[in-house]
Amino acid sequence: MRPSESFPKVKYLYGPVATIFASTKTGSWRILRPVIQQEKCTRCGTCAKHCPLDVIEVDRGNKEKEVVIDFEYCKGCGICANVCPRKCIEMVPERGVK
């Protein structure tokens, strides 16, 4: 270990700036959570294409692989549920999800 690592110098920044990005995990904003019926889903990928945060992972046409949503960032906007051609995404209140 180099000496500078064991004794890091400290300085202070002035003005509006964040160096700890605590509020970037937009999943904390979510009130409604999209829940996908994996059996009904055809893996068409329409939801992933429309997701404004690009947090839905679909292996198109591969029924074996489940659709995965990154809930650290999903805001629960509901666009996926609206565009789903099979209507197999339901928006469930967060508190109701176990």
Partner 1 sequence: MDGNAAAAEAMRLARVQVISAYPITPQSPIAEKLADFVAEGSLKAKYVRVESEHTAMSVAIGAQLTGVRACTATSSVGLALMHEVLGVASGCRLPIVMAVVNRSLASPWSLWCDHQDSMAERDSGWLQFYAEDPQEVLDYLLIAYRVAEDPRVLLPAMVCMDGFFVSHTPAVVLVPEQETVDSFLPPYNPANLYLDPDDPMFVNDLTPPSDYTEMRYQHKVAFEEAFKVITEVQEEFFRLFRRRYSFIETYKCDDADVVLVTLGSMSGTAKYVVNELRAKGYKVGVLKIVVFRPFPADQIRNALKHVPVIGVMDRSAGLGAEGGPVWIEVSRALSGLEPMPKVAGFVGGLGGRDLAPHVIEKAFRNLIDIKEGKIEMRQGSKWIDVREDAMKIREVKVNV
What is the binding site for partner 1 (CB under 8 A)? Answer: 4-5, 8-17, 19
Query: Cα 41 vs. chain centroid, distance in angstroms?
Result: 19
Minimum CB distance to partner 1, residue 21 (Å): 13
Minimum CB distance to partner 1, residue 19 (Å): 5
Q: What is the CA radius of gyration of the chain?
A: 20
Whichever of 22 and 85 has its CB closer to partner 1, that residue is 22
Minimum CB distance to partner 1, residue 22 (Å): 13
Whichever of 17 and 39 has its CB closer to partner 1, that residue is 17
H/E/C letters for each residue in 43-76? CCCHHHHHCCCCCEECCCCCCCCCCEECCCCCCC
